[in-house]
Structure 1
Amino acid sequence: MASSSLSPRLGTPSNSTQSQGDRKTSWTPQSRNPVSARLYKVLSTNFDDEDTRQALRTLSDLYATPKGKEVQTVVEEADDDFSPETAGPSATNASALVELVPGESAARARKNLRRDMENQLAEGSKKFLEALGEVDAKLQELQTHVAAMRTSCDEAETQLALTNESSKILLERAGNLRDERQEVEDKKTIITLFLARFTLNDSEVEAISSREVPISQRFFEAMDKTERIREDCRVLMAGEDGSTKAGLEIMASTSSTLEQGYEKILRYCSNEFRQVGRDSQLEVSAGMREAVHRLRKRPELLTEALTSLSETRQTTLLSSFITALTRGGPSGYPRPIELHAHDPLRYLGDMLAWVHQAIAAEREFLESLFGLKNDGRMVGSVRKFDSKGEEEDWIRELMDLAVGKLCVPLKMRVQQTIRSQESSIVSYKIANLLQFYLMTMRRTIGEHALLSTTLKEITDTSYKFFYDSIETHSQTISRIRLDHDDPSLAPPIVVLDHTQVLREVMTVYQSSLLGDEDEDEINAGINQVLDIMVDPIVVMCLANSEEKKKSRPRWDEAVFVLVADVVTQNVLSAFNFTAKKQADIQVIVDERIALLTEEHSANVVSDAGLLQVAEACRNHKSDEPLSRVPATQPSDLQQALHHFSIWLSGPEVVQSPRLAQLTMQRLHTKIHQGALARLAKTYKMICEEVKKPENRYEAASTLLGRERPFGQVHLLWQVFGLEEDYEDEDEDEDDEDEEEDEDEDEDEDGESEEEESDESANKAKGDGADSDQESDQGESDDESEGESDNNNPPQKLS
């Protein structure tokens, strides 16, 4: 049929000689052929849509055509077993995959597409049902376990309630037994009192009155019994029958016996005190402690005995102190204290430690002597003197008398050591050492003791000598002049040495704090030192920098003063108690930062080539277009913008060579970012002036877009690594501060300035923390911008 249909067209030559009109007539039906229209529609369809592509990929996966031998196998199976009514999706797909005739698989796919989709959905739903069935079974099992657990909990709760009820009964029974036991004890005491005897036997009388019988427990028991008899007699004599002859005789006899006993105790204590007072090892026997306790009922006898003890202890302690200074311990160990006289700290420390050890031993001896119990005070904690006990008064008085003779040799040697010192550090260490022992002695023997007052006197002398030393050194520093030929901006060696001395002084002061002082006490102890040592440094650097600036105009005075102030502030920042002085220096640093930022901003604008253009824009008069001003003519403006574009590719965008002398990267970043922010605002002002119609620039956007940053200020902020509101926040804060200053008095102005300086310091710390990240962002922005095309400026530099 194909050959027959084609033969007419290849027939007689007359067909080739048809007219043009006939050919048009024969072409028209052919162009309207539905197959051609369908082909054109298919070819003109756009398959770039992602949903269409995904649908085609899904169909392709569903009806994928196998290759090789698989085709033959599938064809055979499809021909033998294919049944559309009984076959599943896989069988349908398999039959559709084999194309015995071109287009057959597509026809089958169109025919069975809905059925295949429904079968696949049915299989998926079946799998979901199976999975959910397993979940339901597990939930049923879990519910069974929960019910069993609830049953166990109910049983445990019931058992707990029974246990509580049983314990309650047991506790009530124990309380009743305790009350019964107390009643029995009371009855026992009453019976014991009633059974007491009212007379002494011969053995007890001999123990009290005989000198041949030593004082022992037997003696004290006899004394106790005698006093008890007297108390019982008083009770009997106060009865309804009144005084009896037997009662009066018992009272007279026991009174004579007690007086003999107290006389015997006095002789015993005086003898024991003379023997114990001469020994270096102080030990208190139980008999001596009990004897002192008995004598407290006779204050006049106790005073006589303790007077002999204090005299003996004074002589013994003074002799022991002189021996420790000159001879040392037994067999030469420990070595004599005066052998270390060349080392003042060790020399004084050993003497004061010996005195403190002697006082501690004396305190322990007296507490044991008077039988004072431990009050729970930790070793080294503050001793409380608010108690008005008689024993505490005796102890303090005896300790003061015992160490009173040590004050003269101690004071003489300490003053001699203080006057021989030349180093202010050593003088301050000595003063703090004396201050430490002064506080220790006050907490041990009281503020009004003779040794405490002596230590207070020599401590004041030591501090006075130290203050005179540092004041002399500070005056020497204030008279130092800088070398005008030295171009360095680093602080002078003298200043660094002085700050090192200041650091050591504050370290010594910090180590001398006991930890229980309040903030006012801590600041009061160091403020005078800071005023004497810090203020001359600031004044000297400021005065000498101004003088050197006059003889060396190119020398950077602002950076030098700022570096010196920052070095001093860094020394102070390591110590919390210097907050006030740090705030004072921070005010000066903020002023220097503001001044340096102004100068650096002017230099940056000048280096960037926008200084003349910016000045012309600021000084521009409205009667003349800006494009006619010499500095802002299109050619001059184009040259300035080109210079600015080249400057953006240089290293000064990231770091300023002038600020490299600053040791603190935070200040370097803050000042440089402030200058860059003002440069960005200057560029913004230039762009706004150029774009104004009254300035008559032709193609202003094209003029600005030829060079980076192409007239787009936000791109410049990205190059600098800054936020666009960086400078606006500072200006808003300044405006608010100015309004507050106008409403306040002159006295309040100073306080407001200090608060503003603290806020700026805190903000500088926050800005410095992100300086490295912002600088890196600026460098990456600059590099990306350099790679962009000038004719097609990018919308974002990244």
Structure 2
Amino acid sequence: MAATYIPDGIASPIDSAKSVLSPLSLGVPAPRSNALQNRVTSVLSASYADLEIRDALSGLDERDLRNTATTRRHIRLDVQGELIQCNGEIVQDFGKVAQQLKRIGAAIENLNASCAEMRKHIGAAHQETGPMLDEAKSILSDRQQVEKKQLMLNAFTSHFVVSDADLSLLTSTAEPVDDGFFRVMTRVKKIHNDSQVLLGSENQRLGLEILEQSSRQLNAAFQKLYRWVQREFKTLDLENPQISSAIRRALRVLAERPTLFQNCLDFFAEARENIMSNNFYAALTGAPVDQDHPVLGKAIELSAHDPLRYISDMLAWAHSATVSEREALEVLFISEGDEIAKSIQAGIESEPWSREDDETTTAVFDGKEALSQLVDRDLTGVFRQLKQRTEQVVQSHEVAALAYKISNLLSFYSSIFANLLGRDSALLETLRSSSETALRSFRSIMRDNVINLHTGLAISPTDLAPPEFLTEALETLSVLMKSYGTSIVTADRNQRIEGFQPVLQEALDPFLAGCENITKRLQNPNNHIFALNCLLKTRESLRQYAFADKSEDLQPRLDDHERELTETVHTRFLHESGLATLVDNITSAQDLAASYKDPKQLSSVAQQLDAFLPAATEDARAFLGQLEDKVLVRRIIEHAAEGFCEDFEEIEDLIMQADETREAQVNGEMTDDMWLRDVFPRTGNEIRVLLS
């Protein structure tokens, strides 16, 4: 506190309390001392931290009072006086507030009276306008329902009703098939599909009527589109690379009606078949179909110098036309991807009566297969003419090589068309039939030639050379092999060999059989020389082409004749040298000693041997001079000489053994008799050198 309220010289309450702690010391009676003690105790126990006490002390501090006896005596009175004064001021202020409240109460009573009057007027007005409000609410509700129905009607009309102008675009033949037609048709399709939703509602009659109406409109639209596509097909130029996109779009849409789409394809195929047939005839003869489409280049019939070239040019034209036709139809039918296939699939599902009776599930439409079939139908007339003219050429030229070349040419183009149109193409059957016809003609001509060989088989060649009929057959066979080698397309060696075996059976085997018959009539060694000449020439001709090489089949026969001819030369060596007598009669040293007791008996054989050796090989070459293969001649002479040398060495061994036996008999005594070795001095090495 800023000032103390206990004056100087006056003891503090605490000191006072201490001084009166003992009531006996003050001489006061006990009860009074107890009251004072309680009072002091309450003062001492009071908390000066209490807010009320602190506020009271703060108020005293503001008054700037001194703690004196006078102040302590008057402070209560002063405070009470101030309190009375403050209460008086408050009562005055509340008096003014009471006056204001009276005025406000009077204003509120006036307002209540006005409100009550207004409530009376409002109640009366409400009684008068209530029916009108109810009627207005009902009218507004009806208006909202009408507006909703009007919106539904407008939406229904805009979605399910086709205007007369759009209907005219859709069904009238006077209107063109353009974007507007397809736009209206798309909308009618949507109406037709959405009308099925109405069938599930309460009012099914409306859905049935719209469904029936949209079906009639769609049918009329498809009929219009069908007739328009047919008209366009009549004037469609597939050679024009800028084929109208409208026709492609029309075909894609028309595919939703498989029956109409198939009728259009049939009409298109028939028209294209006539056009392609006329174009092919014009290319053959040079006569144009019309003045607007002149024939470019020279006519095939005038430019082809031989039958094979004639057929080749026709096939080349057919191939070029097929490629062009396929490319054009791809642009026309497949350029839109699988749209036509999807449309046909949807159409088949919507037309269950168009399915086959036994078909439970609808097969997926194959656009490429359908395209190949359409190309087949377009070119049927061309291939029919091609087949007729090819068969006429084959029948009018009875030449085996030509018939076989034509057959190979047709087979070659068959493989090309197979890659272009597929293995199941009907056009391939036409080419295969023509190829088989040419092949039958080839076989017939070859068999006729074999029948005519009987006159040639009766004459044996004097020079032992291959007969003329074999030479001609090998020349023809060379032509056939060349034709086969240029036309075959398979890379499998076994298939190439098997494919040419029938030709060898017709064009070679009968002639080899004829040569074999001639061989049987000839004497040795002419028969072997003639056979070797024929077989060697045949093998040489066949080796030109791997698929015709019959070396493995001919080699055993060649080896047999070579072996027989070698044995003949070997026998000739033995007889001309004089060794045949020794080889045939002498088998051991005892036989030699017994047969030639006098060594001089061998002198004639030795002399004949010496006379034979200088010209032995030359005589053998002259003996085999008609054998055309000189390498084979040398090999035969070498093998025969080798056999002769082996026979001589055996005789030489027997002579040496006979001399050794004789020497043992004389026990080494000197004698004037001649030894066999002295009469027969030649050695095996000398013979080999002289015959080499």
Same structural fold, with TM-score higher than 0.5 when normalized by the shorter chain: yes
Listed as ranges, the matches of 1:277-676 within 5 Å are: 284-328=243-287, 333-339=296-302, 343-371=306-334, 389-445=365-421, 450-481=426-457, 487-516=462-491, 519-520=494-495, 522-547=496-521, 549=523, 556-579=526-549, 581-618=550-587, 624-630=590-596, 634-637=599-602, 640=605, 644=609, 650=615, 652=617, 656-676=621-641
Match of 1:209 among 152, 165, 170: 170
Residue equivalent to 1:768: none
Once the 2 structures are TM-superposed, how far is the Cα of residue 563 of structure 1 from its aligned partner?
0.8
Once the 2 structures are TM-superposed, how far is the Cα of residue 455 of structure 1 from its aligned partner?
3.3
Contact preservation (8 Å) 1:208, 1:261: no
C-alpha change, 1:547 and 1:214, in structure 2 (3 Å) is same
C-alpha change, 1:288 and 1:333, in structure 2 (3 Å) is closer
Once the 2 structures are TM-superposed, how far is the Cα of residue 368 of structure 1 from its aligned partner?
2.0
Residue equivalent to 1:734: none
Looking at structure 2, the residues matched to 658 and 228 of structure 1 have their Cα atoms a distance apart, in angstroms, of 103
Q: Which runs of 5+ in 2 are unaligned?
A: 1-157, 339-362, 665-672
Looking at structure 2, the residues matched to 393 and 324 of structure 1 have their Cα atoms a distance apart, in angstroms, of 29
Looking at structure 2, the residues matched to 267 and 546 of structure 1 have their Cα atoms a distance apart, in angstroms, of 81
Looking at structure 1, the residues matched to 298 and 425 of structure 2 have their Cα atoms a distance apart, in angstroms, of 30
Once the 2 structures are TM-superposed, how far is the Cα of residue 582 of structure 1 from its aligned partner?
4.2
Structure 2 length-normalised TM: 0.60
Residue equivalent to 1:276: 236
Looking at structure 1, the residues matched to 493 and 538 of structure 2 have their Cα atoms a distance apart, in angstroms, of 26
Looking at structure 2, the residues matched to 207 and 708 of structure 1 have their Cα atoms a distance apart, in angstroms, of 129
Contact preservation (8 Å) 1:396, 1:445: yes
Once the 2 structures are TM-superposed, how far is the Cα of residue 367 of structure 1 from its aligned partner?
2.0
The residue type paired with residue 563 of structure 2 is A
The residue type paired with residue 534 of structure 1 is L
Looking at structure 2, the residues matched to 305 and 333 of structure 1 have their Cα atoms a distance apart, in angstroms, of 31
Once the 2 structures are TM-superposed, how far is the Cα of residue 513 of structure 1 from its aligned partner?
0.7
Q: Which moved more, 1:523-532 or 1:419-428?
A: 523-532
The residue type paired with residue 228 of structure 2 is Y
The residue type paired with residue 338 of structure 1 is E
Q: Are 1:681 and 2:646 an aligned pair?
A: yes
C-alpha change, 1:396 and 1:639, in structure 2 (3 Å) is same
C-alpha change, 1:333 and 1:268, in structure 2 (3 Å) is closer
C-alpha change, 1:478 and 1:219, in structure 2 (3 Å) is same
Give the % identical residues.
24
The residue type paired with residue 391 of structure 2 is Q
Once the 2 structures are TM-superposed, how far is the Cα of residue 254 of structure 1 from its aligned partner?
7.8
Contact preservation (8 Å) 1:208, 1:260: no
Looking at structure 2, the residues matched to 372 and 636 of structure 1 have their Cα atoms a distance apart, in angstroms, of 106
Looking at structure 2, the residues matched to 315 and 625 of structure 1 have their Cα atoms a distance apart, in angstroms, of 100
Write out per-residue CA displacement over residues 306-348 of structure 1, whole angstroms, 9 at most, x where no aligned residue: 2221221122122222222222566664222333576211222
Once the 2 structures are TM-superposed, how far is the Cα of residue 599 of structure 1 from its aligned partner?
0.6
C-alpha change, 1:653 and 1:410, in structure 2 (3 Å) is closer
C-alpha change, 1:351 and 1:711, in structure 2 (3 Å) is closer
Looking at structure 1, the residues matched to 641 and 314 of structure 2 have their Cα atoms a distance apart, in angstroms, of 64
C-alpha change, 1:498 and 1:625, in structure 2 (3 Å) is closer
Once the 2 structures are TM-superposed, how far is the Cα of residue 681 of structure 1 from its aligned partner?
1.7
Once the 2 structures are TM-superposed, how far is the Cα of residue 602 of structure 1 from its aligned partner?
0.9
Structure 1 length-normalised TM: 0.53
C-alpha change, 1:233 and 1:582, in structure 2 (3 Å) is farther
C-alpha change, 1:607 and 1:230, in structure 2 (3 Å) is farther
Looking at structure 2, the residues matched to 607 and 698 of structure 1 have their Cα atoms a distance apart, in angstroms, of 32
Contact preservation (8 Å) 1:424, 1:470: yes
Write out per-residue CA displacement over residues 514-570 of structure 1, whole angstroms, 9 at most, x where no aligned residue: 1256624x3443323322332333333333344454xxx8x8332122111211222
Once the 2 structures are TM-superposed, how far is the Cα of residue 470 of structure 1 from its aligned partner?
1.1
Contact preservation (8 Å) 2:304, 2:313: no
Contact preservation (8 Å) 1:608, 1:647: yes
The residue type paired with residue 255 of structure 2 is R
The residue type paired with residue 533 of structure 1 is A
The residue matched to 1:692 in structure 2 has which SS? helix
Q: Which runs of 5+ in 1 are unaligned?
A: 1-197, 376-386, 721-777, 779-798
C-alpha change, 1:718 and 1:711, in structure 2 (3 Å) is closer
Looking at structure 2, the residues matched to 205 and 685 of structure 1 have their Cα atoms a distance apart, in angstroms, of 120
Once the 2 structures are TM-superposed, how far is the Cα of residue 265 of structure 1 from its aligned partner?
3.7
Looking at structure 1, the residues matched to 620 and 245 of structure 2 have their Cα atoms a distance apart, in angstroms, of 82
Contact preservation (8 Å) 1:563, 1:663: yes
Once the 2 structures are TM-superposed, how far is the Cα of residue 675 of structure 1 from its aligned partner?
1.1
Contact preservation (8 Å) 1:429, 1:508: yes
Looking at structure 2, the residues matched to 446 and 224 of structure 1 have their Cα atoms a distance apart, in angstroms, of 37
Contact preservation (8 Å) 1:565, 1:585: yes
Contact preservation (8 Å) 1:270, 1:305: yes
Write out per-residue CA displacement over residues 71-121 of structure 1, whole angstroms, 9 at most, x where no aligned residue: xxxxxxxxxxxxxxxxxxxxxxxxxxxxxxxxxxxxxxxxxxxxxxxxxxx
Write out per-residue CA displacement over residues 176-204 of structure 1, whole angstroms, 9 at most, x where no aligned residue: xxxxxxxxxxxxxxxxxxxxxx9699999
Write out per-residue CA displacement over residues 204-245 of structure 1, whole angstroms, 9 at most, x where no aligned residue: 9689737677555676677668778988999x999xxx8699
C-alpha change, 1:284 and 1:718, in structure 2 (3 Å) is farther
Looking at structure 2, the residues matched to 605 and 676 of structure 1 have their Cα atoms a distance apart, in angstroms, of 10
Looking at structure 1, the residues matched to 443 and 599 of structure 2 have their Cα atoms a distance apart, in angstroms, of 69
C-alpha change, 1:367 and 1:615, in structure 2 (3 Å) is same
The residue type paired with residue 683 of structure 2 is F
Pairwise CA RMSD of aligned residues?
4.5
C-alpha change, 1:517 and 1:655, in structure 2 (3 Å) is same
Residue equivalent to 1:179: none
Looking at structure 2, the residues matched to 369 and 410 of structure 1 have their Cα atoms a distance apart, in angstroms, of 27
Once the 2 structures are TM-superposed, how far is the Cα of residue 682 of structure 1 from its aligned partner?
0.8
Once the 2 structures are TM-superposed, how far is the Cα of residue 444 of structure 1 from its aligned partner?
4.1
Contact preservation (8 Å) 2:613, 2:687: no
The residue type paired with residue 671 of structure 1 is I
Q: Which moved more, 1:400-409 or 1:294-303?
A: 400-409
Once the 2 structures are TM-superposed, how far is the Cα of residue 601 of structure 1 from its aligned partner?
1.2
The residue type paired with residue 661 of structure 2 is R
Listed as ranges, the matches of 1:241-252 within 5 Å are: none
Q: Which has the larger radius of gyration?
A: 2
Match of 1:692 among 651, 657, 668: 657
Looking at structure 1, the residues matched to 186 and 193 of structure 2 have their Cα atoms a distance apart, in angstroms, of 11
Which one has more relative contact order, counting CA pairs under 8 Å at least 6 apart? 2
The residue type paired with residue 710 of structure 1 is T
Contact preservation (8 Å) 1:359, 1:403: yes
The residue matched to 2:452 in structure 1 has which SS? helix
The residue type paired with residue 535 of structure 1 is D
Contact preservation (8 Å) 2:283, 2:295: no
Once the 2 structures are TM-superposed, how far is the Cα of residue 481 of structure 1 from its aligned partner?
4.5
Residue equivalent to 1:24: none
